[in-house]
Amino acid sequence: MRVNLERIKKDIQELAEIGKNPRDNGIYRVAFSDADMQGKECLCERMRSAGLNPEMDGALNVSAVLSGRNDQPRLLIGSHIDTVPCAGALDGTLGVVVGLECLRCLAEAGVTLDRSVELIAFSDEEGRFGGMFGSQSVAGQMNPATIMNRKDLHGVTLQSEMARHGHDVRLALDAARDLDSISHYLELHIEQGPVLDRSKKSVGIVDEITGLFTWAIRFKGEANHAGTTPMEMRHDALMGLADFAHEIPRILDENGTARSRATIGKAEILPGAVNTVPARVDFSLDVRDTNADVLDDLSHACRKALSAIARRRGLMFEFERISYLEPVQCCTELVSRLQGNAEALNLDYATMPSGAAHDAQIIGSLIPVGMIFVPSKNGQSHSPAEWTAWSDIEDGANLLLRTVLTMLCQNSQNPVANGF
Amino acid sequence: MRVNLERIKKDIQELAEIGKNPRDNGIYRVAFSDADMQGKECLCERMRSAGLNPEMDGALNVSAVLSGRNDQPRLLIGSHIDTVPCAGALDGTLGVVVGLECLRCLAEAGVTLDRSVELIAFSDEEGRFGGMFGSQSVAGQMNPATIMNRKDLHGVTLQSEMARHGHDVRLALDAARDLDSISHYLELHIEQGPVLDRSKKSVGIVDEITGLFTWAIRFKGEANHAGTTPMEMRHDALMGLADFAHEIPRILDENGTARSRATIGKAEILPGAVNTVPARVDFSLDVRDTNADVLDDLSHACRKALSAIARRRGLMFEFERISYLEPVQCCTELVSRLQGNAEALNLDYATMPSGAAHDAQIIGSLIPVGMIFVPSKNGQSHSPAEWTAWSDIEDGANLLLRTVLTMLCQNSQNPVANGF
């Protein structure tokens, strides 16, 4: 049994038109916008065409079940169809479209599944209202306060945006599932990084999903005249930033792993005049690793480095933890199964971490998860340049299909399960 | 003969009220604003009270002459009374007020001067319309195009702003002096740096005025996901900035002097997202030294460092020279005379460079100049915190008075000249 690549193409292309801005070719399907709601409607329509019965829960997650002999515990597969502003066609959407194709193939083949499989498209993964809203709702991680407080960058509340479409945000609490009702969660996603593309692998099998902490850091020095202040009398906040940027490789070498990342993505230099020694630098730090203890060590080392730099340069420093996300280990049994299936399909795969956060990270803190990556051309994502070769998409989709099939047709005598 | 500190205080305090914003205690007397024009009027009034006859040239420089036996070549003394927004009370204004006090003392004492002395307050030193407008006009460095093109940050033209007060900007061309008509220019100014304050000297005698170049520099790398992009696959533009910031001490040590300064005062990091490796950094570089050859060497070394960093990090780089100001050597005879007078007055002085640009730099490219500095408390300037102890102001003023007197009363038999 193989996926039909033409149907995947058609679904991707159809969804890519929803929210597309012809000026920059970017897709603007941010969570709960009109385009996002239209995307959900389109997905429901595609599900119906596949003979499935779409449903929408209180968090506006769209899902459909292909029933097996037992309804529970179900295998859950999916991803999300909301986008960042000016997105490409594949981030999230590919996982949903490929999942739908898997259900279509299984339904058409008339396979009798041991258990049901459910396809889900989670709401607001990308973060218009904070991100992971749909998967957090399913995982039962929401409460009335967190729901009512969510706002987008422009101050629009999640509540008002959902009300605009006739939905009551408080019903998102009802989206929480009994987690015993789900056996595993499987997600196919583009890598959003350069590793598979550079190494010319067609699929990645994720063994760990990175955890991260982000800090907002401030160095405070003294604004001084660039001409009249001798170099040795300065308290230059920008030099503090430069020092810290240069400590990062050492901190990673001493405390991190090959999977560690640290990034200063944002920095504001004040007062920001050509002829004034910078008095203040506000900057962000984003540190990731797939091991929580390593993250702790990295955090400790960063704090020591910042404090030493501040002392050496005569600066003040302060920092605030903005976010923390626990790393998640994928289910080892699922990883082995995915590896075995990739070998059976003769795919050139890599076992690798996920450096980005995904709905699988939320679900994975509660139930066993697995993830399949397909390559991102030049590592590009969150941009109209985001792309994956159709042949790689086909490989990833066949790996998902074979994995669903082998998980849900335990009977090795099943002729279809062995029909690869 | 000594200055009367009370009169200096009174003039400083009177001018400090003009353009003062009670909310932040800052003085807003930016060039050709209503407050600046009111300041010019106030100065004319103070000149008249001293028995002088104020004049305004085509650049709206305010001046008054105390006549000697010969009118030319005159000794020119002065500074400016325009301010930056939210200024303190002393920058520029002190030099004008002290100059006025010197003329008052000389007039009251009935000294017969060998040559005339002229006090001048130059227009727009601080740069609302580019800076040094008054001194450049006197130096004959303006032409119709440069005059007509000058605009402030809000797009207001110099022409319209002068017309608003009933003046024709083109007449600024008529402000050019025959430079043979001026023998020397002497300016007293606050240091605007920490050197005198830290070393507890009451006056500084400037031997060189720094030259400078400023560059706008850009490093271009690649925007990548902070989680999915391994450290070794990045082209992080911010790391290029950090590298260059750390090359600065080496570049100064290898190519500069104790008078060299280099400052990165401004930097913009793009796209500027916490979870994105910076693709681009635009930053400024301000490099100063009192020797033009040293400035050349520094510029060459900076270019080599930028190019090496770009190569090493896989970045593109480009830079543009935004400004260049030639260093000026003060007149050695004037410096010696100021030193001798400081010793005669028993002042604890330092001979030092000026790290900031002044009207003296413009005039000094054409005729011999000298400058007296008084300490800036904590090196602060361009802020309401700007201050100098009255006793230091008195010392600096007496040094200026004695220097004017000894320069213009060559007859050592003159009882007043020897009456210190």
What pLDDT, on a 0 to 100 scale, did the predictor assign at position A413?
45
B positions 276-295 inside 8 Å of A (CB) = 276-278, 284, 286, 288
Residues of A in contact with B286 (CB under 8 A): 226-227, 274-275
Q: Do B210 and A227 touch (CB under 8 A)?
A: yes
How big is the CA angle at B177 (ends B174 and B183), to the nearest 5 degrees? 170
pLDDT in tens, B364-389: 999 999 999 999 999 999 889 999 99
Beta-strand pair B224-225/B267-270 = unpaired
Residue B125: pLDDT band (50, 70, 90) is: very high
pLDDT (average), residues B194-202 = 96
Can you tell me whether residue A295 is helix, strand or coil?
A: helix
Least Cα distance to B100 among B84, B85, B81 occurs for B81
Q: Do A264 and B238 touch (CB under 8 A)?
A: yes
Question: In this model, does residue B91 exceed pLDDT 70?
Answer: yes
Beta-strand pair A328-329/A203-209 = antiparallel
pLDDT (average), residues A181-192 = 97
Q: Which of A227, A230, A242 is nearest residue B246 as measured by Cβ atoms?
A: A242
**Angle formed by the axes of helices B292-313 and B237-255, to 10°?**
150
Give the residue from A214, A228, A312 with the most B CB atoms within 10 Å of its CB, the best one to mutate: A228
pLDDT (average), residues A90-102 = 98
What pLDDT, on a 0 to 100 scale, did the predictor assign at position B229?
94
What pLDDT, on a 0 to 100 scale, did the predictor assign at position B291?
97
What pLDDT, on a 0 to 100 scale, did the predictor assign at position B410?
74
Q: How far apart are CA A210 and CA A192, in angstroms?
A: 13
What pLDDT, on a 0 to 100 scale, did the predictor assign at position B153?
86
Comparing alpha-carbon positions, the chain B residue that sits nearest to A283 is: B274
Question: In this model, does residue B415 exceed pLDDT 90?
Answer: no
Q: Do B354 and A275 touch (CB under 8 A)?
A: no
Within 10 angstroms of residue A10's Cβ, the number of other Cβ atoms is 13
Q: Which of A193, A260, A277 is nearest residue B225 as measured by Cβ atoms?
A: A193
Q: Which of B214, B228, B355 is nearest residue A228 as measured by Cβ atoms?
A: B355
Instruction: Give me the residue spans of the domains in chain A.
Output: 5-209+327-419, 211-325
Any A CB within 8 A of B377 CB? no
What pLDDT, on a 0 to 100 scale, did the predictor assign at position B183?
97
For the ranges A95-109, A404-418, B337-351, the lowest mean pLDDT is seen at A404-418
pLDDT (average), residues A368-387 = 95
Question: In this model, does residue B111 exceed pLDDT 80?
Answer: yes
The DSSP line for B398-417 is: HHHHHHHHHHH---TT-TTT
Beta-strand pair A203-209/A349-354 = parallel
> Nearest C-alpha of chain A: how many angstroms from B29?
20
DSSP letter (8 states) at residue B377? G
Residues of B in contact with A288 (CB under 8 A): 226-227
Any B CB within 8 A of A7 CB? no
What is the number of alpha carbons within 13 Å of residue B160 lying toward its C-beta?
7
Residues of B in contact with A231 (CB under 8 A): 249, 252, 260-262
Question: pLDDT above 70 covers what percent of chain B?
Answer: 98
Q: B289 near B242, Cβ under 8 Å?
A: no
pLDDT (average), residues A48-58 = 97
pLDDT in tens, B140-189: 999 999 999 999 989 999 999 999 999 999 999 999 999 999 999 999 99
pLDDT (average), residues B326-336 = 97
Q: Do A242 and B242 touch (CB under 8 A)?
A: yes
Q: Do B225 and A278 touch (CB under 8 A)?
A: no
Residue A284 burial by Cβ neighbours in a 10 Å radius (0-12, 13-18, 19+): buried
What pLDDT, on a 0 to 100 scale, did the predictor assign at position A417?
45
Give the residue from A214, A251, A263, A287 with the most B CB atoms within 10 Å of its CB, the best one to mutate: A263
Q: Do A228 and B193 touch (CB under 8 A)?
A: yes
pLDDT in tens, B13-69: 999 999 999 999 999 999 999 999 999 999 999 999 999 999 999 999 999 999 999
Q: Do A263 and B275 touch (CB under 8 A)?
A: yes
Residue B130: pLDDT band (50, 70, 90) is: confident
Q: Which of A214, A224, A269 is nearest residue B274 as measured by Cβ atoms?
A: A214
**ipTM (interface predicted TM):** 0.88
Residues of B in contact with A277 (CB under 8 A): 263, 265
Tell the CATH topology of A5-209+327-419: Aminopeptidase (3.40.630)
Q: Which of B229, B241, B355 is nearest residue A225 as measured by Cβ atoms?
A: B355
Give the residue from B209, B222, B225, B250 with the most A CB atoms within 10 Å of its CB, the best one to mutate: B225
Entry pTM: 0.88
**Amino acid in the structure at residue B362:** I
Q: Which of B226, B233, B381 is nearest residue A194 as measured by Cβ atoms?
A: B233
> Nearest C-alpha of chain A: how many angstroms from B271?
8
For domain A211-325, which CATH number applies: 3.30.70.360, 1.10.3720.10, 3.40.30.10, 1.10.10.10? Answer: 3.30.70.360
Residue A130: pLDDT band (50, 70, 90) is: confident
Question: In this model, does residue B413 exceed pLDDT 70?
Answer: no
Task: List, in sequence order, every residue forming a beta bridge with B370; answer none if it has no partner.
Answer: B186
How big is the CA angle at B32 (ends B26 and B36), to the nearest 5 degrees? 45
What pLDDT, on a 0 to 100 scale, did the predictor assign at position B416?
46
Any B CB within 8 A of A241 CB? yes
Q: Do A225 and B272 touch (CB under 8 A)?
A: no
What pLDDT, on a 0 to 100 scale, did the predictor assign at position A420?
39
pLDDT (average), residues A92-106 = 98
Residues of B in contact with A322 (CB under 8 A): 274
Interchain CB contacts (distance < 8 Å): A and B? 183
pLDDT in tens, A272-325: 989 899 999 999 999 999 999 999 999 999 999 999 999 999 999 999 999 999
pLDDT (average), residues A390-402 = 98
Residues of A in contact with B321 (CB under 8 A): none
Peptide bond into A271 cis (omega under 30): yes
Residue A415: pLDDT band (50, 70, 90) is: very low
Give the residue from A199, A225, A323, A328 with the most B CB atoms within 10 Å of its CB, the best one to mutate: A225
Mean residue pLDDT across chain B: 95
What pLDDT, on a 0 to 100 scale, did the predictor assign at position B411?
61
pLDDT (average), residues B312-317 = 97
Q: Which of B214, B226, B243 is nearest residue A274 as measured by Cβ atoms?
A: B214
Q: What share of chain B is helix, strand, coil (3-state, %, to 5)?
A: 40, 25, 35
pLDDT in tens, B277-310: 999 999 999 999 999 999 999 999 999 999 999 9
B positions 36-75 inside 8 Å of A (CB) = none
pLDDT (average), residues A378-407 = 96
Any A CB within 8 A of B145 CB? no
Q: A75 near A118, Cβ under 8 Å?
A: yes
Q: A350 near A204, Cβ under 8 Å?
A: yes
Mean residue pLDDT across chain A: 95
The token duo for A65 is: 């079940």
Question: In this model, does residue A418 exceed pLDDT 80?
Answer: no
Q: B41 near B130, Cβ under 8 Å?
A: no
Any A CB within 8 A of B114 CB? no
Question: pLDDT above 90 covers what percent of chain B?
Answer: 94
pLDDT (average), residues A373-378 = 97
Q: Do B228 and A276 touch (CB under 8 A)?
A: no
Q: B135 near B120, Cβ under 8 Å?
A: no
> Nearest C-alpha of chain B: how many angstroms from A105?
32
Any A CB within 8 A of B261 CB? yes
Residues of A in contact with B374 (CB under 8 A): none
Q: Do A265 and B246 touch (CB under 8 A)?
A: no
Q: Which of B230, B286, B354 is nearest residue A226 as measured by Cβ atoms?
A: B286
pLDDT (average), residues B191-215 = 96
